[in-house]
Amino acid sequence: MSLVDVLLPLLGVLLAATIAIVAAARRRVHRRRAAFAQVLDAADALEARLRLARAETGTVAGTDGDPVREALQEMLRQRLWLQQHGASASPATLDTMRASIEAARGRLEQQLQRIADARGHALP
């Protein structure tokens, strides 16, 4: 058995392993980028809804707090965290953040619906 007969299969295995590692790394990068984009989309949607809610409810600062303002401030804190840590955050962390933002939007919609019901009209 020659050296070529030994090295050729070994090189094939190393090449296959390298290709698999590169493919896995690309999938992780793609997954993290997708998770990051989903968090930003959810944050944008919630922020837009909060601004609309402010206009719909005519929220006035100083009356039992301003829940819309508080929520907008929380969104600002989350965006700052994303700016500082988003590039290194795991997809799981980003997914958790997105779920939290979407849950906050759901709670906001429920509160707005209660306000609309109390006023006797439907939300737009």
Tens-digit pLDDT profile for residues 104-116: 888 888 887 877 7
Query: Taking the alpha carbons of 21, 24, 26, 28 in that order, is the dihedral positive or negative?
Result: negative
Q: Please check whether residue 108 lies inside any domain of the structure.
A: yes
Say if 93 falls within a structural domain: yes
Question: How many domains does the chain fold into?
Answer: 1
Task: Summarize the confidence of residues 54-67 as an average pLDDT.
Answer: 62
Q: Indicate whether 26 belongs to any domain.
A: no
- Per the CB < 8 A criterion, the answer to whether 64 and 6 are in contact is no
Give the model's pLDDT for residue 63: 52
* Residue 1, domain member (yes or no): no
The mean pLDDT value of the chain amounts to: 84
Domain containing 75: what range? 33-119
DSSP state letter for 100: H
50 within domain boundaries: yes
Residue 37 corresponds to which tokens in the numbers above?
């984009």
With 90 as the cut, is the pLDDT of residue 57 above it?
Answer: no
Q: How far apart are CA 86 and CA 93, in angstroms?
A: 9
In a domain, residue 56? The reply is yes
